[in-house]
Chain A
Amino acid sequence: RKEVEQDPGPFNVPEGATVAFNCTYSNSASQSFFWYRQDCRKEPKLLMSVYSSGNEDGRFTAQLNRASQYISLLIRDSKLSDSATYLCVVNMSVQAGTALIFGKGTTLSVSS
């Protein structure tokens, strides 16, 4: 069964707060992991890839736990512009290669 699960939220936080999103995936064979950001009525855009050792990009930190099949995204010092839906994405093998499976997303609302 292929599945990516996320808490849909919404997460309502004040500016400057730290917020964490979690994601679990069911396919233990998945090798690639990503976080995408989607603004209202727009296309998803790649936020960051998730590496086994964990990785950081400015205020954003992604972690991967393969044993628990769990991915996280931490946002520090939240900005109003961080308000969006965050999609957890994992790959899976399909007939002619690989495909990406998207979670339904976690909605973040940052207020002043």
Chain B
Amino acid sequence: DGGITQSPKYLFRKEGQNVTLSCEQNLNHDAMYWYRQDPGQGLRLIYYSQIVNDFQKGDIAEGYSVSREKKESFPLTVTSAQKNPTAFYLCASSDRQRETQYFGPGTRLLVL
């Protein structure tokens, strides 16, 4: 089955700890995205990557980092510099020709 997977479903972070959220897709999509969603809020773009080995900051990149070493994978690291990390994190991918984005099931990050 083609699709986007994210793991873990729930993640708990301790103060001062870096955590990494996984995102994998087997849709052969060139572009991948990370969004953050807070309760009652819209999706806000953290980072995006249009091709392997290249990525760009979105609107709220501070406190986050990404890598794009493989077409299928776009992991997001939430660093200790992100002071309010509790949120629902969504990964998406798209075909560069069509723009429609398809989302993974998301990861809920909670701070202990």
Contacts and interface: CB of A to CB of B under 8 A. Distances in A.
Interface in B11-41: 31, 33, 35, 40-41
Given A97-B50, A99-B45, A99-B48, A45 B96 contact: no
A14 interface: no
Contact of A43 (B41, B45, B56, B105): B105
A5 to B, nearest CB: 10
Q: How large is the interface on B (under 10, 10 to 19, 20 to 34, 35 or more residues)?
A: 20 to 34
Interface residues of A, number: 24
Question: Chain B at the A interface: mostly helix, strand, loop or mixed?
Answer: strand
A40 to B, nearest CB: 11
A86 interface: no
B99 A96 contact: no
A103 B106 CA distance: 18
Interface of A: 4, 8, 32, 34, 41-46, 49, 87, 91, 94-100, 102-105
